[in-house]
C-alpha cells in the first residue's frame, strides 16, 4: 500500500488518494467478501438436484427445473401481483409517513415531550411479527377481539368476521406494516434533518418564510437524496416480502389468500413438507434477479435526472 502512494503521487494524480481510501475501507470490504460474496457462489444450488452423497458440487444439474413450480399455476399471477402492489404501497406510504413524522419531530425536538415521542417511534420495532400477529388478533378476533366486543357495538354496528373477509385485509396489512416500520424508518430522516445547517432556517425566517414554506423550500429538497437512496434500496427488494406479516398476521387464513398470498408465503406453503433446498434457492434467486434488474433501471433513471443522488 505505501508503494502505491509513493509511485502514484505525481504520475497518476487521479489515483493519488486511492491507496489510503482503500486502506480505510479494507476491514469492511473483507467482511463483505467473507460474509456475503464467497457464500454467494452457493446460489448455483438453484440449478442442481441436490444429492447428499455426491455433495453440493457434484450433484447433477437440472437447468431451470427448480424454477418451474413458481409458474406452474395461475397462482403465479396472484402472488406476483400481491407482492408488487403491497411493496409499492409500502414504499409510497412508508416514505410519506416517515418523512412526515421526521418533519414533525424536528419541530418539537426541543420540548421535553420529544423523548416520549421518540420512544414511541422505536417501540413497535421491538416485537417480532409473531407477537404482532397476536396483537392484531387481540383486536380482530371474531368472538373476543376488542373491535367486535367494544368498538363496533359502541357505534351500534354488527360484528365482522375479520379473518374471512378478504376485502379488509389490504388495509389491515398496510396499517400493520406502517405501525411497525414508519417510526423506525423516520429515524433515518430525523438524522438527516438533524445534520442540516440550522443557519438556512434562520435566514428563511428572517426573510419571513412560514413554517410550511420552510418545509417545502428547505427541508424536503435537502431530504431528497436520502429519500432517493431509501426508495432505491426498497426497489431492490420489491419481489421479497415479510413472511411474518403475510403469513402469521392473517393467521394463515385460506379465505384471505387472494390478498395475502405473496411469493414467500407461496413458496413456504408449497415446500414446507419437502425441505427441497434447490427449489427454495431457485425462488430466492428469482426474487433477487428481478429486484436487481429493477434497481438497475431505477438507478439509471435517477442518474439521468439527478446525477449526484444515484446509488452507484
Partner 1 sequence: MKRTSTAILALTLAATLFAGCSSTGGFGPEGTQEVGAGAAPAADTPEAGPEVPAQADEVVFYCLSFTNIPDSYDQVNTAINEHIAGTYPEANVKLKLQLFGPVEYEEKIRLAMQSGTPVDLFTPLGLANYVAQNQVLPLEDLLTEYGRDVTAIIHEDIGTDAFKTYEINGHTYGVPINKGMVVTPTLIYDKDMLAATGYSIDSINSLRDLPKVFDKIKELYPEVFPYANTNQGDTHIIPILAGENDIDVMMDRVTYMGVVFGDSGQVVNLYDTPWFAEYVGIMRDWYEKGYVPKDMATSPSTATEYFNAGRLFSTIAGYGGNEIGALISASTGRNIGNKWIAPFYFDSSAASLATAVSSTSKSPAAAMKMINILYTDEFVINTILYGIEGMDYVKVDEHHWTYPEGKDVNTVSYTAAFSTGIVGSEKLQLQTAGVSYEDVLLKLRQNVECKRSPYYGFTFDPSKVVNEITALNNVYSQYIPGLVCGSLDPAVALPEFNKALKDAGIDALIAEKQTQLNAWIAANR
Partner 2 sequence: MANKIIKTGSSGPKPEVLTPGERGFRVFAIFALTAVALAAFLPFILIAVSSLTSEQALIKNGYSFFPKEWSVYAYTYMARQWEIIARAYAVSLGVTASGTAVSLLITSMLAYPMANEKFRWRNQLAFFVFFTMLFSGGVVPQYMLYARVLHINNTYLALAIPNYLMSAFNVLLVRNYYKHNIPPALIEAARIDGAGETGIYFRVVLPMSVPVMVTIGLFTGLAYWNDWVNAFYYVDAPRFYGIQNLLIRMMNNIQFLTSPSNSAVTSGLTLQLPSNGIRMAMAVIGIIPIVLIYPFLQKHLVRGVIVGAVKG
Which positions lie near partner 1, rule CB under 8 A? 50-56, 68-69, 72-75, 137, 141-143, 161, 163-164, 237, 240, 242-244, 247, 251-255, 257, 261, 264, 266, 268-277, 279-280, 284
Taking the complex as a whole, how short is the minimal distance between the CB of residue 50 and partner 2, in angstroms?
10
Residue 53 sits in the site that holds partner 2 (CB under 8 A)? no
Q: Which is nearer to partner 1, 113 or 272 (CB)?
A: 272
CA-wise closest residue to 232 among 55, 38, 91, 75: 91
Q: At residue 61, what are phi and psi to the nearest 5 degrees?
A: -75, 145
**Between 138 and 220, CB nearer to partner 2:** 138
Query: Interface with partner 2 includes 281 (CB under 8 A)?
Result: yes
- Among partner 1, partner 2, none, partner that 73 touches (CB below 5 to 8 angstroms by kind): partner 1
The rounded distance, in Å, linking the Cα atoms of 71 and 267 is 11
Q: For the stretch 262-293, what's the b/e string if a residue is b when 16 or more beta carbons lie within 10 angstroms of its beta carbon? A: bbbbbbbebeeeeeebbbbbbbbbbbbebbee
Task: Name the minimum Å distance from CB 210 to partner 1.
Answer: 42
Query: Buried b vs exposed e over 19-46: b needs ≥16 C-beta within 10 Å?
Result: beeeeeeeeeeeeeeeeeeeeeeeeebb
Q: What distance in Å separates the CA atoms of residue 270 and residue 54, rounded to the nearest whole number?
A: 26
Of residues 98 through 117, those in contact with partner 2 by CB under 8 A are: 100-101, 104-111, 113-117
- Whole-number minimum distance, CB 261 to partner 1, in Å? 8
Residue of the chain from 1, 7, 9, 32 that contacts partner 2 (CB under 8 A) = 32
CA pair distance 169, 250, nearest whole angstrom: 8
Does 311 bind partner 2 (CB under 8 A)? Our answer is yes
Give the residue with the Cβ less far from partner 1, 67 or 102.
Answer: 67
* Residue 53 interaction partner, one of partner 2, partner 1, none, beta carbon < 5-8 Å per kind: partner 1
Compute the least distance from the CB of residue 288 to partner 1, in Å.
9
CB under 5 to 8 A by kind: which of partner 2, partner 1, none does 173 bind?
Answer: none
Angle of CA points 145, 146, 149, to nearest 5°: 85
Q: Kindly state the smallest distance separating residue 258's Cβ from partner 2, in Å.
A: 27
Residues 119-138 that bind partner 2 (CB under 8 A): 119-128, 131, 134-135, 137-138
**Beta-strand (E) ranges in the chain?**
none
Residue identified by cell 470490504 is 29
Look-up: residue for cell 403465479?
76
Q: What is the DSSP letter of 60?
A: P
Distance separating alpha carbons of residues 298 and 292, to the nearest angstrom: 10
Toward partner 1, which CB reaches closer, 150 or 258? 258
For residue 173, the SS3 value is helix
Q: How far apart are the two ends of the chain, measured CA to CA in Å?
A: 25
Contact pick of 60, 153, 210, 221 for partner 2 (by CB under 8 A): 210
Q: How far is CA 108 from the centre of its chain?
A: 28
Shortest CB 74 distance to partner 2, Å: 28
Q: What is the DSSP letter of 312?
A: -
Residue 259 beta carbon to partner 2: minimum distance, rounded to whole angstroms: 23
Asked if residue 3 binds partner 2 (CB under 8 A), the reply is no
Does 191 bind partner 2 (CB under 8 A)? Our answer is: yes
Least distance CB 172 / partner 1 (angstroms): 14
Amino acid at each position: 500500500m505505501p508503494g502505491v502512494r509513493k509511485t502514484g503521487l505525481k504520475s497518476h494524480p487521479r489515483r493519488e488518494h486511492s491507496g489510503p481510501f482503500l486502506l480505510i475501507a479494507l476491514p469492511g470490504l473483507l467482511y463483505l467478501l467473507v460474509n456475503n460474496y464467497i457464500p454467494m457462489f452457493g446460489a448455483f444450488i438453484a440449478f442442481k438436484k441436490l444429492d447428499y452423497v455426491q455433495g453440493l458440487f457434484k450433484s447433477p444439474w437440472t437447468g431451470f427445473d427448480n424454477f418451474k413450480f413458481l409458474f406452474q399455476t395461475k397462482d403465479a399471477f396472484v402472488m406476483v401481483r400481491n407482492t408488487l402492489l403491497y411493496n409499492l404501497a409500502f414504499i409510497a406510504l412508508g416514505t410519506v409517513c416517515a418523512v412526515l413524522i421526521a418533519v414533525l419531530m424536528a419541530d418539537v425536538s426541543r420540548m421535553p415531550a420529544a423523548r416520549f415521542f421518540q420512544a414511541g417511534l422505536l417501540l413497535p420495532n421491538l416485537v417480532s411479527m409473531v407477537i404482532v400477529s397476536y396483537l392484531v388478533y387481540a383486536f380482530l378476533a371474531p368472538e373476543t377481539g376488542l373491535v367486535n366486543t367494544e368498538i363496533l357495538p359502541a357505534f351500534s354496528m354488527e360484528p365482522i368476521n375479520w379473518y374471512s373477509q378478504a376485502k379488509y385485509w389490504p388495509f389491515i396489512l398496510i396499517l400493520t406494516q406502517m405501525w411497525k416500520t414508519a417510526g423506525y424508518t423516520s429515524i433515518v430522516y430525523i438524522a438527516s434533518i438533524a445534520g442540516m445547517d440550522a443557519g438556512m432556517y434562520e435566514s428563511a425566517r428572517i426573510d419571513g418564510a412560514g413554517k410550511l414554506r420552510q418545509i417545502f423550500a428547505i427541508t424536503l429538497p435537502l431530504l431528497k437524496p436520502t429519500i432517493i437512496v431509501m426508495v432505491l434500496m426498497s426497489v431492490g427488494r420489491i419481489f421479497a416480502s415479510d413472511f411474518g406479516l403475510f403469513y402469521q398476521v392473517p393467521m394463515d387464513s385460506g379465505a384471505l389468500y387472494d390478498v395475502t398470498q405473496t411469493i414467500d408465503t407461496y413458496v413456504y406453503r408449497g415446500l414446507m413438507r419437502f425441505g427441497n433446498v434447490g427449489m427454495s434457492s431457485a425462488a430466492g434467486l428469482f426474487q433477487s434477479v428481478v429486484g436487481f434488474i429493477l434497481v438497475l433501471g431505477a438507478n439509471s433513471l435517477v442518474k439521468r435526472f439527478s446525477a449526484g443522488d444515484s446509488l452507484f
